[in-house]
Structure 1
């Protein structure tokens, strides 16, 4: 159970870090190109949320294989664990996006 909870924390923070890092460097690129950095960061964050979760999970194929085994072979424990990993990564990406919205100050929380 300890490894499971540790992996959920890893997934959360990896997705959060991918979002924050990508949007921060996207904002730098927007500044260099003469575009509004905050708007670019929010647009980019909205577009890459799902990809941050995929990165946190280590790619989609191992996750899909475990889901397939869970559904077709009746191993529901692995299926539930994988779903919780996915939710953890999605929540991490969403928290990063909401943090950027809050820091931008548009009031879209």
Structure 2
């Protein structure tokens, strides 16, 4: 159970960091090119959300392959674990997006 919580937490923060960090850097870049940083940050957060999920769960098709093979073999607990990792990564990406939206709320 401890390794599950560790990996789920790491997946959450990887996805959160990809969205939050990427959006903040995009906002800095927007300042350099004299565009509205808040609008660029929100747009970037929305576009990075799916890529943050991919980066957090491994960046390949392996998690989907693990779900398929374990489902076919009847190992449903392993399928649930993989889906939980994906959900944790999605939650991290979503929280990063919502934080960026909240920070840029009045400026967009």
Q: What root-mean-square deviation, in Å, do the aligned CA atoms of Structure 1 and Structure 2 show?
A: 1.1
Q: How far apart, in 2, do the equivalents of 1:7 and 1:41 lie?
A: 28
For residues 24 and 85 of structure 2, what CA distance do their matches in structure 1 show?
Answer: 25
- Residues 19 and 48 of structure 2 are in contact (CA less than 8 Å); yes or no, is this contact kept in structure 1? yes
Q: How does 1:65-104 map to 2 (within 5 A)?
A: 65-104=65-104
Alignment deviations for residues 53-80 of structure 1 (CA, whole Å, 9 cap, x no partner): 1101111322012111122222211110
Describe the superposition over 1:1-22 as per-residue Cα deviations: whole angstroms up to 9, x where unpaired: 1000111100111111111111
Instruction: Give the corresponding residue for 2:23.
Output: 23
The structure 1 segments of at least 4 consecutive aligned residues displaced by more than 6 Å after TM superposition are: none
The number of aligned residues is 106
Distance 2:63 2:24 in 1: 28
Matched position secondary structure for 1:60: coil
Structure 1 residues 3-12 or 57-66, which shifts more? 57-66
TM-score of the aligned structures, taking structure 1 as reference length: 0.91
